[in-house]
Chains A and B, each alone.
Chain A
Amino acid sequence: MVVTSKSHRIWNRALIALVFVLVIAYLLPLYWISSTAFKPRSLATTVPPTVVFQPEVTPFVKLFTSRVQMRGEVEPEIYAKAPWYEKRVYDAGERVIKDADGNIETSGYWSRFLNSIIIAVTSTFLAVAMGTLTAYGFSRFRMPGEQDWLFFILSTRMLPPVVVAIPMFLMYRTVGLVDSHLGLIILYTAFNLSFSVWLMKGFIDEIPIEYEEAALVDGYTRMQAFFKIVLPQAATGIAATAVFCFITAWNEYAFALMMTNRKAQTAPPYIPSQLGSGVTDWTVIAAGTFLFLVPVAVFTFLLRKHLLRGVTFGAIRK
């Protein structure tokens, strides 16, 4: 603004201070769940809430193992021989369950986490690969009823998951895809495909058409021009689209809840399901949540320049 009086400057400073107070208040829930993941169990649910404590990794050890409550104290010589992670569990008054060969039994978390990775990565790859080709097709060639096709593609994204899930469940049951990785991969690919087409169309529209024309003059075929000129130019866009698709698939809950129960279950339906089972150990749930959120936080930082574009399906680029 032109007029910068003294009162104006003070007002401005006060507002900036307010911004920082708001940011801190906003991040408090995230801080709270993260700090709970490093608390001893006895401090997780205290009144008043515990803010200062000695952080420990016990919740993460518990997260990955099956345990039972100990009735008495552990025998000193057993404790002395135990590896560090077992000691952490003993310290918390529990012991890990072992099979006949002495191998530690793992909890269900690890396999869910792995399922999440497999399903999210595969479906992202498929959605981005198909989406990029389709976006190029729409961006560079005339297509009768183009707007209608693009609307059709986007509308599939808007379908409520429950609406799609009912018939898909019946179909999957017939062909044996219920509770399978492939079943979820197909659903997530379909869900992300429309997003990927729209976002990639935005990115490809921005690549000057002259590059390809020059390549065609130089004797490239259209296919060569696409692979050697357009794809490298679109690399940033492809990466951003892939990260968005990954996050969507990683976070998805409704389909996973309805279509899987054990073998192919992903982390989002599994983590809350621990709430109902027995006495709730919030530190373990917080640890599971923390590990699940870390990749999302990292990716959000990588994506920060493209977030606006991503949430508007590529329509607004700034």
Chain B
Amino acid sequence: MLARLDSGSASARRGLSDIAIRNVFIIPTIIFLVVFNIFPLIYSLGYSFTDFRASTSAPAQFIGLDNYRELLSDPYIWTNFTITAKYVLVSVGGQVLVGFGVALLLNRKVPAKGLVTTLLLLPMMMSMAVVGLFWQLLYSPSWGIINYVLGLDDFEWLSNADVALYAVALTDIWMWSPFVMLLSLAGLSAIPQHLYEAAAIDRATRWYTFTRITLPLVTPLLLIAIIFRTMEAFKTFDLAFIMTSMDTTELIAIRLYKMAFQEWQTGKSCALAYIVLIMVLAITNIYVKYLNQAKAR
């Protein structure tokens, strides 16, 4: 742990006191976040108990928990959650397989390794909206390069109800596998070489070395990657929204957007937002726990 400045020292008493400096430095940020993040959430909590519609001038009527009751018993919303779960599973699963696999490949002496790693990391730094847009070009049924390379003519990727969700997930895997790779590489490179040397002396098999040395030592960082990606995939809006508009790709964030900004069911959408928010905060809590653990190591 870090040593703190000794606030009792004589020198610290010149100028502003430490407490004053701390407050001047920290409080504006807290106020800013409260005003622009927490206050709006309180505001929408209020609206979630009303039938307010932002498109009309009719005043909001208090209807108690009706919005929540309606949402939780709406099979349509459950479908959105199921779609989201499927999407999270496929895209995060794919990212872990590809990302960790490539990290294992890269974890050796590779010529121009720095350049190779940086090039691989490019996709995840790009805008989801723009990536979604140009993957539409690649997915085009009649002249897209994907169909051409795979030898499929006229296969519909994005307007096929069965495939569209997985096509979006594939784009997400392309974009975010490097993220898993980056964290896995950090974990792999931190494994002390002498462990492998000891295993080699004991004539351990590759599989044994992998499952008993590599995997356990990479797991903390891999878990951070998985939890973070799960949370991001759960919140996905841009990519799926840009790429398709099928019923089978209506992730919960897209449902929420439509309810709020197209159907203008403001009150009800605030209630749904709260349900989503609670889920995200739960995952965030787990994430920060693991993050702090990794930091302490």
Contacts and interface: CB of A to CB of B under 8 A. Distances in A.
A209 interface: yes
B132 A272 contact: yes
A228 to B, nearest CB: 13
Interface stretch (B17-25, B61-69, B74-82, B211-219): B17-25
Contacts of B36: 168, 186-187, 190
A311 B182 contact: yes
Given A167-B47, A258-B261, A194 B5 contact: no
Interface stretch (A81-89, A91-99, A101-109, A135-143): A135-143
A161 B237 contact: yes
A172 B225 CA distance: 35
Contacts of B93: none
Nearest to A209: B3
- B117, B119, B148, B196: residue with the most chain A Cβ atoms closer than 10 Å: B119
Contacts of A159: 37, 41, 277, 280
Interface in B131-177: 132-138, 140, 142-143, 145, 148, 174
B123 interface: yes
B56 interface: no
B191 interface: no
Contacts of A168: 36, 40
Interface in A257-312: 258, 268-269, 271-272, 275, 282, 285-286, 289, 292-293, 296-297, 299-301, 304, 307-308, 311-312
B293 to A, nearest CB: 9
B21 A18 contact: no
B125 A30 contact: no
A223 interface: yes
A79 interface: no
Given A29-B138, A222-B18, A149 B129 contact: no
B205 interface: no
A80 interface: no
Interface stretch (A58-66, A69-77, A212-220): A212-220
A199 interface: no
Contacts of A268: 127, 129-130
B256 A163 contact: yes
Given A15-B105, A301-B118, A193 B33 contact: yes
Interface string A224-242: 1010000000000000000
Given A216-B11, A301-B118, A193 B108 contact: no
Interface in B19-53: 19, 21-26, 28-30, 32-33, 36-38, 40-41, 43-44, 47
Nearest to A252: B127
A252 B130 CA distance: 10
Contacts of B200: 1-3
A47 B15 contact: no
Contacts of A26: 119-120, 123, 174
Contact of B118 (A131, A285, A300): A300
B243 to A, nearest CB: 9
A145 to B, nearest CB: 12
B73 interface: no
Contacts of A170: 43, 47, 54, 266
* Interface size range of chain A in the complex: 35 or more
Contacts of B277: 159-160, 163
A258 B231 CA distance: 22
B2 A139 contact: yes
Contacts of B5: 140-141, 209, 212-213
A197 B43 contact: no
Given A22-B105, A139-B2, A316-B221, A158 B130 contact: no
Contact of A23 (B16, B43, B120, B201): B120
B260 A166 contact: yes
A114 interface: no
B2 A209 contact: yes
A276 B38 CA distance: 37
A160 B22 contact: no
Contact of B127 (A193, A220, A250): A250
B281 interface: yes
B133 A160 contact: no
A57 interface: no
Nearest to A292: B130
B72 interface: no
Given A2-B197, A170-B54, A272-B132, A162 B237 contact: yes
B106 A19 contact: yes
A316 B137 CA distance: 37
A189 B32 contact: yes
A134 B29 contact: yes
8 contacts: A26-B120, A133-B24, A141-B7, A159-B277, A171-B40, A209-B5, A222-B14, A300-B125
Given A15-B108, A212-B5, A316-B294, 8 more contacts: A22-B105, A47-B142, A49-B145, A134-B28, A167-B47, A171-B43, A223-B21, A251-B129
